[in-house]
Amino acid sequence: MTPIDPRDRSLILTGVLLALFLGALDQTIVSTALPRIAEDLGGLERYAWVATSYLLASTCFVPIYGRLADLVSRRTIELWAIGLFLTGSALCGMAGEFGALPLIGDGMNQLILFRAIQGAGGAGLFAMAFIVIADLYPPAERGRYQGFVGAVFGISSILGPLLGGLLTDHAGGVIPGVEGWRWVFYVNLPFGALALWFIVTRMPPLEPRETGRLDPVAAGLLLAGLLPLFLGLQLDRTRFPWIPGVGIAGTTATPGEGWATLALLSTSALLLLLFTRRTLASDEPILDLSLFRVPVFRIGVLCTFLFGASFLSILFFLPLFMVQVVGVSATAAGVSIMPLSLGVVAGSVTAGQMASRLGRYRGLMLLGGSALLVGTILLAAMDAEVSRWEITLYMILCGVGLGPSFPLFTLAVQNGVEVRRVGQATGAVQFFRQLGGTVGTAVMGTVLAAGVAGATLVEGTPVGTIDPELREAFADSITTIYALTAGVVVLALLATLRIPDLALRKTLDRG
């Protein structure tokens, strides 16, 4: 590979991180705009699908981008990913502007579809950030730069809800007739154009180290298998229980709906089995399953799955605890998760810097995991009397503990596999992290639904107060969730103990 000028490397890194920021921001910026979107476009019953469609696409396409990165110029993939993301952003901003569209339907259906297009581009932004950094810096230096990736996710999780609210409430007067929520999507366009400029003018092609092609049949089977899996995990457990005919807390489910989850998960298992058989028989697999014979890869993806489940479980259920148990406003509940994001930023950047200085990573992984374990145990011990300062401390502790998992497991895997398979390996790490988050929130959501199903509102409870029975049910359920999360962290720590602590290579080429 032709050496890249240090200044150009910095500019390339800036462009890649800016593109990544847009993709990460879009996971959170839409949340505060959704009520206004549903009011404007209608279709409140499809409210959750605006976020779910993005999550589905951004997760499912990650391993495909990983494989493409081993076959096609990195610059080409980055440009296509940014272009697809910006196209989706523009379409989302125009959803419903021209009435119902043939085959697609009303504005809400359009937005759900266009969010999926956005997510397909976002998947490339997530995967390519780590892959391009691997091309720019050897493993011994890579940690400090991959730490910036975790920082980008942390900062975006802070700015997303705030920026979404500001644009929704105040951007409506920028152009007459354009609703404020549409700027949640249009704001991506100028920043995306800047990222494109960095990539086009400064990024070399970064050609792959092998030749081949993408197996379209395997890609189709993978996407077809993951879609019913994610749908089955995202369904409302009060209507679509895990066990057919048995509702939450032992209640009886509607017969037709009771089988929906089992049918989706069974379909997913069958299609993923076909994908596995196709992969084993292929000379050019999307995900080379022989990677699982490499201990650092096998243990690394298991750990990222578990830490991904822990991260979203903490992030998703704390605002609910703050509103339903502590009794704060939705705005204050949103502010309560900021210390977690700040902790992730600090932990990610510090761990990346330390790994580059020490030339090792396992000790930092274990240190971060231990801090996370203490934080989740403290969360599991909360009650309605917990103070905001205590919650802030717990969130910082969890964030600092989670931060190292973002750069270090990817760094360890990249350092331990052949350079020609870095793209596949990196894509797999990102995929399993997001899959862990989806599975974790689905399972923990079932725990929550079971815990509050028997609680009922007391007649005559004044508006604006918290019903005592519901408060107790939410408190018990969410602290149980955090206790289970602590158990997941223990499993992650035990797995981390077994990851090979290989010295970080000081050259870009292996050996």
Are the C-beta atoms of residues 181 and 40 closer than 8 Å to each other? yes
5-39: per-residue pLDDT in tens? 777 788 888 888 888 888 888 877 877 777 788 78
HSE-CB for 215 with a 13 A CA cutoff: 20
Collect all residues with Cβ–Cβ distance below 8 Å to 464 and sequence separation of at least 6.
none
Whether 335 and 394 have beta carbons less than 8 Å apart is answered as no
Judge whether 161 lies within some domain.
yes
pTM of the model: 0.81
Q: What is the pLDDT of residue 365?
A: 96
Q: Can you name the residues that pair with 252 across neighbouring β-strands?
A: 246
Percent of the chain past pLDDT 70, that is, above it, reads 89
272 lies in the same domain as 368: no
**Distance (Å, rounded) from C-alpha 446 to C-alpha 477?**
10
Considering the domain boundaries, does residue 144 fall inside one?
Answer: yes
Min mean pLDDT across 246-260, 392-406, 474-488 is at 246-260
**Per-residue tokens: 352:** 């990346």
Q: Which range is most confident: 149-163, 240-254, 431-445?
A: 431-445
CATH no. for residue 485? 1.20.1250.20
Alpha-carbon Rg of the chain, whole angstroms? Answer: 23
Number of continuous H segments (helices) and E segments (strands) in the chain:
20, 0
- The residue among 202, 231, 259 that closes a domain is 202
Phi, then psi, of 94 in degrees rounded to 5? -95, 0
H-helix segments, 104-252 = 107-136, 139-170, 183-186, 188-202, 216-234
CA 318, 299, 262: angle at the middle one, nearest 5?
Answer: 60
Q: Considering only 5-14, 30-39, 100-109, 298-307, which range has the smallest mean pLDDT?
A: 30-39
Look-up of token digits 């970064």: 206
Give me the chain's average pLDDT, please. 83
Query: 3-state DSSP call for residue 144?
Result: helix
Q: Are residues 56 and 119 in the same domain?
A: yes
Axis crossing angle, helix 295-321 with helix 388-402, rounded to the nearest 10: 160
In a domain, 210, yes or no: no
Helix orientation angle between 295-321 and 422-452, rounded to the nearest 10 degrees: 30
For residues 163 and 18, membership in a common domain is answered with: yes
| CA-based nearest residue to 134, from 351, 354, 421 | 421
Q: Same structural domain for residues 403 and 486?
A: yes
Residue 311 sits in the same domain as residue 421? yes
pLDDT band, very low/low/confident/very high, at 368 (cuts 50, 70, 90)? very high
Q: Which domain holds residue 71?
A: 1-202
The distance of Cα 375 from the centroid of its chain, to the nearest Å, equals 21
Long-range contacts of 5-8 (CB under 8 A, 24+ apart): 8/202, 8/203, 8/204
Q: Could you tell me if 220 and 197 lie in one domain?
A: no
Residue of 416, 366, 71 whose CA lies nearest to 210 = 71
Is 385 exposed, middle or buried, given 0-12, 13-18 or 19+ CB atoms closer than 10 A?
Answer: exposed
Is 169 a member of any domain?
yes
In a domain, 40, yes or no: yes
Based on the fold, state whether residues 237 and 375 are members of the same structural domain.
no
Pair 148, 15: CB distance under 8 Å: no
CA-wise closest residue to 93 among 79, 106, 107:
107
Reading the block at residue 38, the tokens are 């549903």
- Please report the pLDDT score of residue 281 as a whole number: 86
150 and 85: one domain?
A: yes
Q: Is the pLDDT of residue 508 over 70?
A: no
Q: Per residue, what are the HEC states of 287-348?
A: CCHHHHHCHHHHHHHHHHHHHHHHHHHHHHHHHHHHHHHHCCCHHHHHHHCHHHHHHHHHHH
Dist. CA 64–CA 46, nearest whole Å: 28
Tokens, residue 290: 């022989």
Out of 170, 202, 234, pick the residue that ends a domain.
202
Distance CA 359, CA 376 (A): 29
Instruction: Please tell me whether residues 247 and 298 are part of one structural domain.
Output: no
User: pLDDT at position 209, please?
Assistant: 66
Of the ranges 16-20, 150-154, 458-462, 504-508, the best mean pLDDT one: 16-20
User: Could you tell me which of 419, 412, 345, 404 has the C-alpha nearest to residue 371?
Assistant: 404
CA angle 307, 311, 55 (to 5 degrees): 100
Amino acid letter for position 247: G
What's the rounded Cα separation, in Å, for the pair 156 and 168? Answer: 17
Please tell me whether residues 347 and 494 are part of one structural domain: yes
Which of 76, 142, 191, 209 is closest to 410 using CA atoms?
Answer: 142
Residue at 207 is within a domain: no
Where do the H-state alpha helices sit in 235-291? Answer: 255-258, 260-281
Mean pLDDT of 124-147: 85
Write the Ramachandran bin of 477: left for phi over 0, alpha for psi from -120 to 50, otherwise beta: alpha
Q: Which two tokens stand for residue 509?
A: 């080429």
Inter-CA distances, 255 with 145, 234, 272, Å: 53, 19, 27
In a domain, 209, yes or no: no
* Domain assignment of residue 449, yes or no: yes
488 and 355 in a single domain? The answer is yes
| Domain final residue, candidates 285, 303, 330 | 285
238 has pLDDT over 80 = no
Structurally, how many domains does the chain consist of?
3
Q: Which residues pair with 246 in a beta bridge?
A: 252
End-to-end CA distance of the chain: 15
Torsion of CA 213, 219, 221, 223, to 10 degrees: 180
What is the C-alpha to C-alpha distance for residues 309 and 411, in angstroms, rounded to an integer?
20
What pLDDT does 28 receive? 74
Tell me: do 309 and 425 sit in the same domain: yes
Instruction: Give the whole-angstrom CA distance, residue 508 versus residue 134.
Output: 8
- In contact, 181 and 92? CB cutoff 8 Å: no
Q: Is the pLDDT of residue 202 over 70?
A: yes
